[in-house]
A and B are shown apart, each in its own frame.
Chain A
Amino acid sequence: MPRVVPFLQLVLCILLAGSAGAESLLSETPLTDQPGDATRGLAIIRDPSRASCLICHSIASLPDKDQGGLGPPLDGVAEIYDAGQLRQRIIDARRGNPITIMPPYFTTDGLFRVGERWEGQTIYTAQDVEDVVAFLLTLKD
């Protein structure tokens, strides 16, 4: 057992490094030429009609009442993930975690019985993704 634990840690590190590397490769390039606007990103993430972050997550530094408690808090998220990793999670969190309940914000892949009003559309536009990434990058400890 004592020998197994470090081995598992090593495997975990390799897996993490591997998946982080792959993610960055997939999405390190911004989706738009216009740099993300953190102020606009904040407006998006607190707007319930946009199926947005605060429905499920919380951010302690924001005064918004009734923040969500379903996903992990986003405080300090920029200390953990870089722009590419955040972008990837917003575009399609299933790529890192197939059973995540987080909706895919910028893909229509693998969806079932999407309502007629929403058919063929993504939750966010490319610029929305960039703006939200820009805002999330401000969330440091």
Chain B
Amino acid sequence: MKRLLALLMVMATPALAEPISAPVSGYTFMEPSTQQIQDDDFLNPAFFLVEKGQALWDQPWPGADQSCRSCHGDAETSMRGVAARYPDWDSRDAVMISLESRLNREITERLGGHPLALESEDLLALTAFVSLQSRGLPMAIRIDEQVQEWVDRGQEIFVTRRGQLNLSCQNCHDDHWGQMLRGDMISQGQINAFPIFRLTWDEVGSRHRMFTWCMEAIRSEPFPLGSDEYLALETYLAVRGQGLMIEAPGVRR
């Protein structure tokens, strides 16, 4: 009877859409051995890409006389805090824009280059290099009416159950974070460490690639990288994790 009552109590626990009172970085849910790799920039494999990003920043863009550095100088100064503010609403073009899209806009408009493909090594390298300049700063998404619309749209995606396993992001990352899913402790699904070197992938990936990985894990049809759906989800998650320190480039299991 005691067991029956325990079962009933589990069944009766409502899955409320409670906001996370204090965001906790995914770092907290990693094994110490994984944390150690992130703690040491010489061990963190993502720093190979950071070096490449630094080179892309410094050298004249292919086909152009100018480099990122020509206008922006030392990224350590000029890019400090930039990644912490993305995604952001771009009033010039009246679009929501991710850091990757913003970098590509600079490349095409100012340097006359071709946009870098999403998830290409060059774009990941530049994103990792620019994001590193915000390391230790809190995520600080500017919220206005336009941004809020994207937040709301992202939240809708977050709470909607989907896939053959019929799970929402919320089911695990709001309602059951800190609990064990086989050998892994469920994280809050925070995005403050991206781009990340993921041990499972053995390479660096973006926020959107992680979204696709999750969608496939619950056997749901993923959205395309760079889609409005992922941008909305990214915006929602960035605001949900507001205040968390940027850890880019992080290391995750």
Contact = CB atoms under 8 A, between A and B. Distances in A.
A112 B182 CA distance: 25
A4 interface: no
Given A72-B7, A108-B164, A110-B166, 15 more contacts: A48-B182, A56-B181, A66-B182, A66-B183, A70-B179, A72-B6, A80-B4, A99-B15, A103-B167, A111-B164, A113-B162, A113-B221, A115-B222, A121-B164, A123-B165
Closest 10 CB pairs between A and B? Answer: A66-B183, A69-B180, A103-B165, A118-B164, A113-B162, A118-B219, A115-B221, A101-B171, A112-B162, A97-B11
Contact of B182 (A67, A80, A104, A111): A67
B: contact size bracket: 20 to 34
Interface of B: 3-4, 6-7, 10-11, 14-15, 160-167, 171, 175-176, 179-183, 186, 215-216, 219-222
A55 interface: yes
A70 B180 CA distance: 6
B167 A101 contact: yes
Nearest to B7: A72
A115 B215 CA distance: 8
B94 to A, nearest CB: 29
Contact of A113 (B175, B179, B220): B220
Interface string A77-94: 001100000000000000
